Structure 1
């Protein structure tokens, strides 16, 4: 029992050191690596791929940002005229996932990836599914 408590304490301390990375490169158009903690509209492999997001005319990065932030535990890390990087932080261990969104013509490029660990237990795919529903409800896609 004592070993388990020590291990959990160490994990909590280490995970508490995970902060937002303001210098992160834009990877929105890159396919995922081989870790199953990433999904992308730019990846053709089945376990990583996402169906395209086709934007309605008039959809703006500001409106998309508002919808994405409404998913909870989210903070805008980078914002440009056609690009967003939003950081999502898990409740318990404070792990950070990056959601990247880029407008290209009438398409929204979407990439969501966990920064740490190998598997995310499907969290990024579920988040993107929730984003798709919220964007549809807001008539943005």
Structure 2
């Protein structure tokens, strides 16, 4: 019985710690840290860099948001002006990653980072490439 109680408390603790936050500054202009749990279009280091996202002329942030919300576990946390932060929550452990998007003309700055842990096992890179494919499928990517 104690074993099951310990497991339940551990899972609850991990889940509670990984929930969303209400306040977070726009980090789209900041390079990733040293941990391998972040990718960005502005970072030039191989383990963090992702290819630029160039959108078709006239694309709105609302169109980008509609596509981004089709990603697994995605919900809008912040949408202000040309900045959007999507929280992506994993199904089992409920870990939250932040997908930050900033639209400047036809350039979409993309940054995806795990809030907790050292490595993300490539989850953020995979997410950004899923977003790229979904934007292409929606005929938004140039």
Shared fold by TM > 0.5? Answer: yes
Structure 2 residue 61 is matched with structure 1 residue 64: no
Post-superposition Cα deviations, 1:102-139, rounded to whole Å, max 9, x if no partner, equal 01122100000000000011000000000000001111
Runs of 4+ in 1 over 2 A off after TM superposition: 2-6, 8-11
Partner of 1:51: 51
Q: How many residues align?
A: 139
The residue correspondences of 1:1-141 to structure 2 (distance < 5 A) are 6=6, 8-17=7-16, 18-141=18-141
| TM-aligned CA distance change 1:129 to 1:3, over 3 Å | same
Gapped runs of 5+ residues in structure 1? Answer: none
> What's the offset of the Cα at 1:5?
7.8
For the 8 Å contact 2:57–2:105, the answer to whether it is kept is: no
Post-superposition Cα deviations, 1:49-91, rounded to whole Å, max 9, x if no partner, equal 0100011011100000000001121110000121100000011
CA RMSD of aligned residues (A): 1.5
Supply the distance in 2 between the matched residues of 1:4 and 1:110 (Cα, whole angstroms): 41
| TM-aligned CA distance change 1:30 to 1:91, over 3 Å | same
Deviates more, 1:103-112 or 1:14-23: 14-23
For the 8 Å contact 2:58–2:106, the answer to whether it is kept is: no
TM-score, normalization: structure 1?
0.92
| TM-aligned CA distance change 1:34 to 1:92, over 3 Å | same
